[in-house]
Amino acid sequence: MNEVDIKKVCFDCEFYSFGTIRVFEKRQSYYGTWLKRITFLGLLSPVVLGGFVAAFSTESEVLKYILLPLLKWYIKFGHYIIGFAISRLIC
């Protein structure tokens, strides 16, 4: 192999690696957005519930009949939703 052939092979490899970088940068930006949203929801739900309890009390009718059943549902099925979202991020 002479110098010209080596330069051509290097240029081809550089071109293909640039294309690969662009593909993975787009995937990272898309999935990074979803990961930030999941993290935000994971932090927001306990803060909202805690703020509601601190503001009104544990004897509030809204807390007993609306928020606690939602919280029980979230505890029961939330890990399925988060697991599905994470599996979509990985694959």
| Number of domains within the chain | 1
- Asked if 34 and 89 count as a contact pair (C-beta separation under 8 A), the reply is yes
Q: Provide the H-helix boundaries in the chain.
A: 3-55, 61-62, 68-90
pLDDT of residue 20: 76
Q: Are 23 and 52 in contact (CB under 8 A)?
A: no
pTM of the complete model beyond 0.75 = no
Q: State how far the alpha carbon of 91 is from the alpha carbons of 10, 33, 34, 88, in Å.
A: 31, 15, 13, 5
11-63 pLDDT per residue, tens:
777 777 777 777 888 888 888 888 888 888 778 877 877 787 778 776 777 77
CA dist., res. 29 & res. 89, Å (int): 11
Which range of residues forms the domain containing residue 24? 3-90
